[in-house]
Structure 1
Amino acid sequence: MEIKHNTVVGLTYDLKVSKELDDIESEPFSVEVRDEDDPFFFLFGNSGLPEKFEEYLIGKKQGEGFLFTISSADAYGDADEELIMALPKSQFTAAQGFEPEMLEEGNFLPLMDENGYPLQAKVLKDLGDEVLLDFNHPLVGFDLHFEGEVFEVRAATAEEIAHGHVHGDHGFQH
């Protein structure tokens, strides 16, 4: 079966990123490796991933390799200053599952939006009674370099299509 809309796709890959600074592209460095023990699964056409990511994979079959680069503009774009905000430390209590060391600079806080969907924010600075958080995607501003292989392709179930995500061993358990 080939990758197309409403298929469940499993990938193994090495994701490297690079950034252009002063018209000089940095050397790509690895930020994520997904191997046969931990492949990445998603519902094609409803992944929430950059469009170019799916464009480069459409039509590929199980066992096929891939190698492509997505520019930052086609990936997660540039940082949005409106997504950097100071919030009171009092919002991050032990009762809510937060430990003080989680608010240290450079850490990523696991959070949920108003609809209960998970998101994360990077701690930029301790401001005393407040903490400065960056809600931009962690890969904003980076070119993405993918090299990998299609691990599995199968038809999505009606339930997966209706729910918009993969179920079972490699997805959500309801």
Structure 2
Amino acid sequence: MSICKNTVVYFHYDLTDAQGTLLESSRDGEPSAYLHGSANILPGVETALEDKTEGDTISVTLPPEQAYGPRREDQVRRVPVKHLIYQGKLRPGLTVQVNTSEGRKPATVVKAGKFGADIDTNHPMAGQTLTFTIDVMRLRDASPEEIAHRHVHGPGGHQH
């Protein structure tokens, strides 16, 4: 079986930056899972996995434009603390949720004050060239329910 539309793919990955620094890895836990062809992962990674089989290893490097986008300075702004959702003490580096007219959005605190905070709503990996090293662990056909919902159900996937 090879990876094509509506294949459930179980995989382990390492994610490194342009300097080779490990940013994330799934290898200490259960494999991740996604439904191929349903836009559940970055398009460049999904394209690189097309036609691969169990046991294959790939490495794909994505520039910022194909990963999480360029870093935009206009995404750093001051907001009243009352619009932030967080636990503990508000401090630089803390990930918070911001209430917006489009719903809650994640942000990183750049500077914290008593009544306001400077927050960065760029993706934490925006502006970075990223390399994904992926080991394809297991493949299976998606169930009709998974195809209808456009994501994997069960371990490694979405839990309903």
Where do 5+ consecutive residues of structure 1 fail to align? Answer: 19-26
Amino acid at match of 1:73: E
Whether the aligned pair in 2 keeps the contact of 1:12 and 1:36 (CA below 8 Å) is no
1:99 counterpart residue number: 87
Percent identity between matched residues is 32
Amino acid at match of 2:126: V
What's the CA shift for 1:134? Answer: 1.5
2:32 counterpart residue number: 40
Q: 1:137 aligns with which of 123, 127, 138?
A: 123
Secondary structure at the residue paired with 1:170? coil
Root-mean-square deviation over aligned CA pairs: 2.3
1:57 counterpart residue number: 49
Matched length:
160
Change (3 A) 1:157 1:30: same
Change (3 A) 1:11 1:123: same
Secondary structure at the residue paired with 1:149? strand
Q: After the TM superposition, which residues 150-169 of structure 1 pair with which residues of structure 2 at under 5 Å, given as runs?
A: 150-169=136-155
2:110 pairs with 1:124? yes
What's the CA shift for 1:57? Answer: 0.8
For residues 62 and 14 of structure 1, the distance between their equivalents in structure 2, rounded to whole angstroms, comes to: 17
Where do 5+ consecutive residues of structure 2 fail to align? Answer: none
2:73 pairs with 1:85? no
The Cα offsets for residues 88-145 of structure 1, whole Å up to 9 and x where unpaired, read as 212346xxxx3242x21012225687777x7521111114311122221111111111
Change (3 A) 1:110 1:92: closer
The Cα offsets for residues 135-162 of structure 1, whole Å up to 9 and x where unpaired, read as 2111111111122310121111121122
* Runs of at least 4 residues off by over 4 Å: 110-116
1:22 counterpart residue number: none
2:17 counterpart residue number: 17
Secondary structure at the residue paired with 2:47? helix
Change (3 A) 1:48 1:79: farther
What's the CA shift for 1:50? Answer: 2.5
What's the CA shift for 1:37? Answer: 2.8
Higher helix fraction: Structure 1 or Structure 2? 1
Q: Which moved more, 1:151-160 or 1:84-93?
A: 84-93
Change (3 A) 1:114 1:59: farther
Change (3 A) 1:41 1:114: farther
For residues 112 and 62 of structure 1, the distance between their equivalents in structure 2, rounded to whole angstroms, comes to: 42
What's the CA shift for 1:28? Answer: 1.8
Please, what TM-score do these two structures have when normalized by structure 2? 0.86
The Cα offsets for residues 24-61 of structure 1, whole Å up to 9 and x where unpaired, read as xxx22000111273212112122343211111110101
Whether the aligned pair in 2 keeps the contact of 1:66 and 1:149 (CA below 8 Å) is yes
